[in-house]
């Protein structure tokens, strides 16, 4: 079912501005307009929007996502593995900072 920009924003928790940014970057395209002139996005566009948002949450930039979004799985897998290692390193650093913060709080 086609959805308007507002409906996508409300259903997926993705800001209108972000969706418009995806469109400007050429990652997704509107698929029409309704009778009120509101932009519509079909199910394929909605799936892409969710995928783009997931990639962003994983730490990929829009430029990286442009290269990844339509890449075959055999090209995507090593990129994802590399990003996973990066996130694990960040997680370790955050855990160290949490320990340091807890120690500091105890001294206050």
DSSP class of residue 20 equals: H
Beta strands in the chain (DSSP E): 3-4, 32-33, 39-41
β-pairing verdict for 3-4 and 32-33? unpaired
Going residue by residue through the chain, which has 108 residues, state the pLDDT in tens, using 9 for 90 and above. Answer: 999 999 999 999 999 999 999 999 999 999 999 999 999 999 999 999 999 999 999 999 999 999 999 999 999 999 999 999 999 999 999 999 999 999 999 999
Task: Count structural domains, the chain.
Answer: 2
- pTM of the full structure: 0.83
Q: Looking at residue 11, what is its pLDDT?
A: 93
Residues 45 and 91 in one domain: no
Domain that residue 59 falls in: 1-68
Residues 53 and 92 in one domain: no
């Amino acid at each position: 079912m086609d959805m308007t920009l507002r409906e996508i924003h409300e259903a997926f928790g993705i800001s209108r501005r972000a969706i418009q940014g995806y469109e400007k970057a050429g990652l997704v395209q509107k698929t029409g307009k309704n009778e009120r002139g509101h932009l519509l996005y079909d199910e394929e566009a909605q799936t892409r929007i969710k995928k783009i948002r997931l990639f962003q949450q994983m730490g990929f930039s829009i430029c990286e996502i442009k290269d990844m979004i339509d890449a075959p799985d055999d090209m995507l897998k090593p990129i994802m593995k590399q990003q996973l290692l990066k996130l694990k390193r960040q997680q370790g650093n955050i855990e160290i900072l949490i320990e340091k913060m807890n120690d500091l709080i105890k001294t206050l």
